[in-house]
Structure formats: C-alpha cells, structure tokens
Structure 1
C-alpha cells in the first residue's frame, strides 16, 4: 500500500472547501456504517462551522488522510481552551472499505502529536459498542483498545417517538407539581433570558461533573456569560435552534435546567442536551417537571419533529427513570474511553 499522508486542514488555504467536503464524506460513511437508524451525524455546514469557529472556549482541528491523493480517512481533535486544559478529544473516521490499512492509526498519531504540543496528557473519545444493525463489527472498541484506551464510562443512547401524548404530559406534570410549589418554571426559545443567564451558565458548567462520569478525568467548565453568548451565536449560524426550561428558586437563581435542540438539516429529530438539578435543590422532582414543560414547548415550536434522542450514563438511574416515565427506550450502548499519555 502507498504511504498514508495525514494533513491538518487550514481554513485559510485555497483548497479548504474541497478538502472539507471530502473530510465530511468520510465522516458520514464511517459514522453510518452498521448504524443507519442509530447514527446522529452532523451536516457539512455544522462541522465546517465548528472547525472555522473563533470560539474562545474550544478549538477544533480537522485532519484528512490521503493515499495517492485520495481522501481515505479523517478526524477531528477538540481542545478545550479555558478549562480541562490537560485533555483533548479525538475522533477518528475511516470508512469500512479502507480499514485495516493503518489509516486510522496514522490519523490518531497526528492528533496525539498536536495534543502533546498543546500540553495535553489525557485523551478522551467515544466509541459505539456493536454489533451493528446487521451484525457488523463497528470497529471502534477494538481500535481504541489496540491504541491503549481504557473504558472509563458506559452511556446509553435512548429515543422516544413524537409527539408525546399531551394527556400523559399533563399527568406527569400534575404528579410533580406538589413537590416544587416553591419554584417557578420558565420556558423559552433561543438565547437564555438576560435575567437568568448568569446563574444558568454557572449551573450548566457543572453538568458533566455532577452527572456520573466514571473514571473520566474532567473538571467543571469555565462559566462565563460572554462565552455562552458566543456559543449561542455559533449555534444559530450552524442552523441549530433550541427550547429550554429552567426551574427558578425564590431567590431568582436557576437551580434546574434542560434543553432540546433542533437542527435545520434534520428537522425530524431533536437532541436532548444538558439536564441538571442543582445538588442542594434535589428531591423536588424538578428534573421531571422541567423536562415535561420543555417537551410541551418543543412540540409547539417544532411540530415536524418525530423523535428525541438522548444519552445518559448507564449508572445514572434517576435520570434514566425520568426518561422511562417519558417513554424513552434504549437503542445503543456507547463507551467513553480514555488514554493517559506519557
């Protein structure tokens, strides 16, 4: 086989547009193999916007692997800039017909070199457990193990079909209401309201560390309103729209939140993102209450949506129980894997 050449794409280079289209093509092929109904892939505009973004909190680098000039693989390396400064998140993509040729390992080697140059000592990635929908070997767990990664957390992908029955939502809301009478539920579409944004951002910053995280080495995100507003603008530019619900305590602080996101390239599917209840306000069924209110708003704002997809740690029994109440079913297991460098 000819030599594998790996290049980090430069958004300022004349050939970037053509290269990024080929890069997105190998991403789509790799992610959909064996997972046609379970894959949740991003559009070209979405991923292109990510690697050209000037977000102050996160850098994303795109890589392509070529053999004899043909793009045969690729990947993306995400580098936090304001927190978690010892970690990096690599994704490696190789279409099945190109596997076992050293392409994925070459892409990973290039990413490791860049991560080390940035002072990173821990790599964290996600791999889908198999088999595929037709018995395919998805490849990810074996590839990660061969590179020395260890499983740090197991997550479950769950889905529910829409629209949810409004009578059922009413019943769930009524059952939760007596437990959170002291709190106000606020729902909206788009950016977080100005009077809530400071405490909203502070709470969102601890989502990853408050949820079960297994053996992952993670720390809270940097909580900054200006950075948050920058992320909102990027999301809008990528064609992403959201509805959010917060529980507000009597002192005006956001103490619970949840978000649902729609994407212009895939209007039939919503993504459930951050859901958290502040530790000192748990026990009031705020997780269920906010999710029910947010789902109701989502069905009003996104009537074309036919499914919600979400991920939770397998050990997060409470949130999984809330999902069951809403009708979610588990469709896939994903492993977060971790590699300590050096």
Structure 2
C-alpha cells in the first residue's frame, strides 16, 4: 500500500540562516538532485541565494510551492508561477518526485494540487517544460514533434508520458546550446566586421552592466516589451507584456540582490535614438567558468541588417576580455527561430539538449486519473 503523502505550502524564509529555512533548502536539494540526474552537471542548477530571490513575490509575479512529505521528508513538490501584471489567464508550473518514490501516484497528487490552486486563482491555461539531453537520435527512437512542427523530443521519456497522460500538449521545442569559450579571436573579429559592414552607420553600440543608463531606460523597457511579441511562441497562449522603467528597474534589482552580474550590449538606431537590438549575459560568480546568454532581440522593423550578430559578437568579445576564466556559455532558442539559431551556430554554439514547452487548457478538465507511472 502506498504511504499517504502529506501536502503543504512552502513558507519562504527571510534568509537562508533563519530557523525556518529548512524546508526551502530541502526543496532546493530535491530540485538539484533531479537536474543532476538529467544533465550530469550543475550548469542549469540555481544556488540557494539566487533561488530565494527568484521565488520571492514581486509586483509582476508570485510563486506558490507545494511540498509532498513522507515522514517529514520532502519527496515530491510542485510549483506554479503566476504573472500579476499581464497574462493573467496563465501560470507556469512544474512537478517533480524523487527517483526512489516514483510510480506511486505522488506526481499525480502534486499535479492535482497545483492545477486546483491555479483554477482557484482564475487561471485557465497552464504551461510547463520538460528537459532532454541531446543524447538521442531521432532516426533510431520514437520522437514527439510539437504542434509548431519544428524540433522533437523522445516520445517515451517519463516526463513526456506524464505530460501527455494529463492532458498537456507539446506546443514548441527549444534548443538548449553550449558554446566553448573563448572564441578564437580572428573568427570573432571576422564575424564582427561583417556585421558592422551590413549594419552601416545608422547604428551604434552601447554597453552597460547591471543598470541601464537613464537616457536609454525608456527605450530598453519598450524593447523588453517587444521581446514578448517579436520572438516565436508557437501556439503558447501568451499575450504581450507591458514594460515601463519601473518594471525594468525591478528586474535589474532582483539580479543584483541575487549576486548576479548582467552585461548588456544594445544597438541604438542613431536617427531615432531608440534601441533596435539588444542582448545580455547573466553571470553568477558562484559559477566562475560559466555564463548564460539570455534574451537577444532584434526589433522587427530593424531586421535584415545583421544586428543580432553585431550585438552578440560584440558582447562576447567584451565578456571574454573582462572574464578570461570563462569556459562555457549556455543559451536557449525556439527550434523554429532559424535566424537566431543561425547566428548562434556561426558563433560556435552546439546542441546540448532540448526543452519541450507544454500547455493545457484547464477548462477542458482536471488531471486524468492515471496513477501507474507518476
């Protein structure tokens, strides 16, 4: 007989040394364990300080974490992130169970908990993600293609089967890529010179660390808004995000509180003074050899001028000079985002894995009552 799971909400501590931080730290260890099982390294694992900052509620999102305990020990959890400013019909959620406690129905129970909570908060669409190392050959195993028609993930992966059983549809596949650093100098300069020649004199580069200069802050906020509309999102039910300077400063402050360094390169359109493209790196000094390539966007009206390569190559050159200890960069791209993928491939990024992006309309019913493999 399966032992009864005790489910409760996580109460976040004020800091990691508080007497009530034990559950938060234990929940993090479970998440870390599962990521290590999947990837075999800590590249995609958050440190506790970063996790605590990112899990705190702010004006734009709120996270609810549910713990599943046996005998006082956390063996399963689910969480949901709820947008508070826009996309108020959605939530992004995840469910995980410790390896030794799987196939007992605990995943089902944690999913039911998070789905019922989402519905009570007025959310009708839930999204989720599964992670898959690039160690499979689509020619030799069964794969599942997303509704977007581009990319594929292993069809019989446990997370894929769980998602399908419970009514989630695969909308999109993202390619997770790695770049070995440093990029050879001559190759980088060649890419940069070619991009500069294509862009011409109508664009100039601006660099900053952590906080956007006030003179560009409004334009950068607008560019962040466009990030939610100008990149491929397949059939995911996402609406445009509205950014202003307050939202921008809030994001910057959370990075600073987590101890991260943000290095931004933007291409400014000289005639208008507005940002036409930008990219940024997220550097966590607790992982001194690793850097994460985050958002890159060329605003639609300025495409076709190699601005994506211009800002990326310039930012790589800058970061290699300032952080010579770097050995690897990681990034994500929608599989159908041909133009940005082509830029990354030219820089030297190679596939390391794939993330499946899933979606479910809760109005079509709760999680299925199938417990055998959860």
Give the TM-score of the pair, scaled to structure 2. 0.86
Matches within 5 A, 1:62-77: 62-77=65-80
Structure 2 residue aligned with 1:228: 248
How far off is 1:23 after superposition?
0.4
Quick check: 225-234 or 200-209, which moved more? 200-209
Asked if structure 2 preserves the Cα contact closer than 8 Å seen for 1:38 and 1:332, the reply is no
1:311 equivalent to 2:337? Answer no
Structure 2 residue aligned with 1:26: 30
Structure 1 residue aligned with 2:183: 164
How far off is 1:152 after superposition?
0.5
Asked if structure 2 preserves the Cα contact closer than 8 Å seen for 1:128 and 1:141, the reply is no
1:321 equivalent to 2:324? Answer no
How far off is 1:197 after superposition?
1.1
Asked if structure 1 preserves the Cα contact closer than 8 Å seen for 2:129 and 2:355, the reply is yes
Aligned-partner Cα distance in 2 for 1:131–1:68: 37
Aligned-partner Cα distance in 1 for 2:301–2:181: 33
1:278 equivalent to 2:302? Answer no
Asked if structure 2 preserves the Cα contact closer than 8 Å seen for 1:185 and 1:248, the reply is yes
1:336 equivalent to 2:339? Answer no
Structure 1 residue aligned with 2:7: 6
Structure 2 residue aligned with 1:56: 59
Structure 2 residue aligned with 1:149: 168
Asked if structure 1 preserves the Cα contact closer than 8 Å seen for 2:38 and 2:132, the reply is no
From the superposition, tell whether residues 132 and 284 of structure 1 become closer, same or farther in structure 2 (CA, over 3 Å): closer
RMSD: 2.0
Aligned-partner Cα distance in 1 for 2:87–2:279: 23
Q: Pick one of 193, 210, 219 that aligns with 1:174.
A: 193
Aligned-partner Cα distance in 1 for 2:221–2:31: 31
How far off is 1:110 after superposition?
1.4
Asked if structure 1 preserves the Cα contact closer than 8 Å seen for 2:38 and 2:131, the reply is no
Cα-to-partner distance string for 1:67-125 (whole Å, 9 max, x where unaligned): 12221011321110101110000011222222112222222211112211211000011
How far off is 1:190 after superposition?
1.5
How far off is 1:132 after superposition?
6.5
How far off is 1:131 after superposition?
7.9
How far off is 1:39 after superposition?
5.2
SS at match of 2:265: strand
Structure 2 residue aligned with 1:215: 235
Give the TM-score of the pair, scaled to structure 1. 0.94
Aligned-partner Cα distance in 2 for 1:92–1:39: 20
From the superposition, tell whether residues 38 and 25 of structure 1 become closer, same or farther in structure 2 (CA, over 3 Å): closer
Aligned-partner Cα distance in 1 for 2:88–2:57: 18
From the superposition, tell whether residues 28 and 193 of structure 1 become closer, same or farther in structure 2 (CA, over 3 Å): same
Q: Pick one of 113, 123, 128 that aligns with 1:120.
A: 123
From the superposition, tell whether residues 164 and 128 of structure 1 become closer, same or farther in structure 2 (CA, over 3 Å): same
Cα-to-partner distance string for 1:33-85 (whole Å, 9 max, x where unaligned): 1321485111111112222x242111112221101222101132111010111
Structure 2 residue aligned with 1:247: 267
Quick check: 295-304 or 183-192, which moved more? 295-304
From the superposition, tell whether residues 330 and 12 of structure 1 become closer, same or farther in structure 2 (CA, over 3 Å): closer
1:104 equivalent to 2:101? Answer no
Asked if structure 2 preserves the Cα contact closer than 8 Å seen for 1:31 and 1:93, the reply is no
Aligned-partner Cα distance in 1 for 2:238–2:8: 29
Structure 2 residue aligned with 1:203: 223
From the superposition, tell whether residues 131 and 256 of structure 1 become closer, same or farther in structure 2 (CA, over 3 Å): closer
Cα-to-partner distance string for 1:159-214 (whole Å, 9 max, x where unaligned): 11011112111111111112212101111221111111111111112213311111
